Amino acid sequence: SGIRLLLPNGRHRMIRGMSSNGRLALMAAFFAPLLAFPLENQDKVKSFHVPIKRSFGRKKKAKTLEDQPGVYTTIDMKDYRTISYKGVVKIGDPPREFEVVFDTGSADLWVFSAHSRAKEMEYLHTYNSEASSSYDELNEGFEIMYALGNCSGVAFRETVKLGNIVVEKMKMGAATKFSKNFDNENDHSDGILGLAYKKAAAMKSSNIVQKMKSEGLIDTASFSFILGGDPSKQGYDGSRLMIGPPDYSLAIDNKITHVPILDGCQGMWCIDIDAVLINGVDHGLCTTGCTGVPDTGTSMIVVPLVLWPRFAMILTKDASCSIDSLGILCHDTPQGLPVFSFVLGNTIFNLEPKQYIVADGVLGFMPSKLNTWILGDTFLKNVYTVFHMDNYTVGFAHTNSTGYWSPSMNVSRFQLFLLYLSVAFVSVGLLTAMYTPCKQYFTRQVPSRNWNRGPYSYQQANLAVASPRPRFDTGIVRERID
C-alpha cells in the first residue's frame, strides 16, 4: 500500500479560506495519512539502481498470456474522488463482506478485529473468529510497520472469496492494534488485500492470486486494473480488478507494453523507468537510472526527495504555484501547467494537467525519502495496468476505458486501414456508376429549351474516423540543464 489521499467532506471550502502554507499543511495531514510501503523493503528498494537502456525500437511483450482463456473473475471497485479505490472480499463461513484496498504495494491480507477499537466505529466492519466455522487458529501474531502507520494482531487461516473464486485456508490477519490513519471516517476501508509477491509479506504467505494458482483454481497468476471515475464524486463507476489474463480489448490498438520486474526488490513490483518528460522534454531526472513501483494503494505520484526541488521547479515554471516539502498547490490551474510523461518500456504515457490535478489546485505529486518513484493512482487511473506474476512483468496500455477518456470504438490501425479502403472503393464505384448517366444528361440536346450547360461541381466531403486516445509525442527532446 502507499499514500492514500483522504479528502473529508467540506474539504474544498476549507482549503479556499487558508493561506498557501496552511493549505499545504492541511494537504499533508489529510492527503498522506497512510504510506503502507513495508519498511523492511524500503532500504532495499532505495539502494537499487540499474543503468537505463533507451533502445526505443525494441518491444517487450509477454510470451504466453495472449493465448490464455479470458478473465476468470471481476471485482467492481468503489472510488473516493479517484484518490482511493476499494473492493469487496468475503471472509469466513458464513461469509461476511469486507471492503478492502486492493494493494499492489504490499503482500499481506488483514482486516480489523472485533476485539479492537474498530468495533466502536460504526462505519467499519470487523472480523470475529467466533462467528466463523472455517476459522483455523495458528497461534501466531503479525506486525506490519509502514512508513506512515502500523498495525499488528493475530494471524490465522480462513476461507476467502474474491469475486466468484473461493480460496480455503488463506493465511491472513485480524488487526487488534493500528494507527489512527487507518480509520478515517470519510474514506475508510476495513483492511488491506496485498498483491505483491510472498517475499514482501510480513506473514510470509503467498497473496490470494498466487494461492489460487497453487490450488489449481486458475491457470494464470495474473491480474489487472481499470481505475477511473469523477474526481468530484465517489462510488462505483466502472473501476474494477480482473483476475486472469489481460483483456486486450481495454487497450487502444490492442497494444500492451510489458516491462520486466527488476531483481533485488524483495517481492515488490519494481520496474525500470526509461525517462521522465515534462512537455516532451527529458530534463535528465533519470540520467543515472530511475526505478518505480506501480502501487494501487498510493493516491499520488511519489517523487524521490533528492529530485523533488528540481522536479517541482521545472513542472511549475510557467504556472502560479506554491512548492513545499509536502507537495504543490497551484492557484490558476490548469493554466501554465505542462504535460507530464513517464517513458515505460519504450512507450510514452502522458498525463494532461487535468489528469494530475487531484483537488482544488493540489497536484498529484509529493516527495518521499524513498529513492524510487511510486506510480500511484494519479498515474494508474489513466492507463490499463496488468500484473503478471508468472512471468514477472507489469503491462501498461493506453485505454479509453477510464473515467478520463470518453468511450468510443476501439479500432486498430489495420481495421482503420480497411475502413478507409472500403470507403474509397465505394466512393470510386459510385462516381464511376454516376459518370455516364450524368454526362449524357448534361450534354443532351433539348430543342425547346436553351439549357445552361455549365460545368457541374461536386463538393467532396473528407471522411475521417478517429479513435480518441491520450495525446503522446513520438520522440524525446533532451535539454541540458546546468
pLDDT at 273 over 70: yes
List, for residues 444-453, the tens digit of each pLDDT value. 544 443 333 3
Q: Model-level pTM?
A: 0.73
What does the pLDDT read at residue 331? 87
Provide mean pLDDT across the span 80-84.
76
pLDDT score at 289: 87
| Residue 440 pLDDT class (50, 70, 90 cuts) | low
Task: Summarize the confidence of residues 405-423 as an average pLDDT.
Answer: 44
Instruction: Please tell me the distance from the alpha carbon of residue 224 to that of residue 203, in angstroms, as a whole number.
Output: 24
Q: Assign 185 a pLDDT band (cuts: 50, 70, 90).
A: confident
Average pLDDT, integer, range 88-95 = 97
Q: Which residues contact 180 (CB under 8 A, 6 or more apart)?
A: none
In the chain, pLDDT over 90 holds for what percent of residues?
55
pLDDT of residue 308: 96
Q: How many Å apart are CA 244 and CA 389, to the nearest integer? A: 11
Predicted confidence band of residue 431 (pLDDT cuts 50, 70, 90)? low
Q: Please report the pLDDT score of residue 321 as a whole number.
A: 94
- pLDDT at residue 63 greater than cutoff 50: no
Q: What is the pLDDT of residue 469?
A: 35
Instruction: Look over the chain and give the mean of its residue pLDDT values, rounded to a whole number.
Output: 77
Query: pLDDT tens across 387-396, in order?
Result: 999 999 999 9
pLDDT-derived band at 442, boundaries 50, 70, 90: very low
| pLDDT reported for residue 81 | 73
CA dihedral 379, 385, 390, 393 (to 10 degrees): -50
Tell me the per-residue pLDDT of 127-166, one tens digit each, with 9 for 90 and over: 999 999 999 999 999 999 876 789 999 999 999 999 999 9
Asked if 397 and 383 count as a contact pair (C-beta separation under 8 A), the reply is yes
The rounded distance, in Å, linking the Cα atoms of 136 and 32 is 35
What is the 3 state secondary structure string of the chain?
CCECCCCCCCHHHHHHCCCHHHHHHHHHHHHCCCECCCHHHHHHHHCCCCCCCCCCCCCCCCCCHHHCCCCCEEEEEEEECCCCEEEEEEECCCCEEEEEEEECCCCCEEEEECCCHHHHCCCCCCECHHHCCCCEEEEEEEEEEECCEEEEEEEEEEEEEECCEEEEEEEEEEEEEECHHHCCCCCCCCEEEECCCHHHCCCCCCCHHHHHHHCCCCCCCEEEEECCCCCCCEEEEEEEEEECCCCHHHCHHHCCEEEEECCCCCCCCCEEECEEEECCEECCCCCCCEEEEECCCCCCEEEECCCHHHHHHHHCCCCCEEECCCCEEECCCCCCCCCEEEEECCEEEEECHHHHEEECCEECEEEECCCCEEECHHHHCCEEEEEECCCCEEEEEECCCCCCCCCCCCCCHHHHHHHHHHHHHHHHHHHHHHHHHHHHHHHCCCCCCCCCCCCCCCCCCCCCCCCCCCCCCCCCEECCCC
Q: Does the pLDDT of residue 235 top 90, yes or no?
A: no
Q: Using pLDDT thresholds of 50, 70 and 90, give the confidence band for residue 231.
A: low
Mean pLDDT value across residues 244-259:
94
pLDDT band at 422 (very low <50, low <70, confident <90, very high): low
Q: What is the pLDDT of residue 187?
A: 75
User: Which pLDDT score, from 0 to 100, does residue 456 have?
Assistant: 33
Q: Average pLDDT of 283-288? A: 91
The HSE-up count of residue 392 (CA atoms within 13 Å, CB side) is: 13
Q: Residue 81 is placed in which grid cell?
A: 474522488
pLDDT of res. 437:
53
Average pLDDT, integer, range 456-478: 34
The larger pLDDT score, comparing residue 184 to residue 19, is at: 184
Q: Which pLDDT belongs to residue 214?
A: 96
Lowest-confidence region among 166-170, 303-307, 411-415: 411-415
Beta carbons within 8 Å of 59's beta carbon, 6+ residues apart? 257, 345, 346
C-beta separation of 46 from 223 below 8 A: no
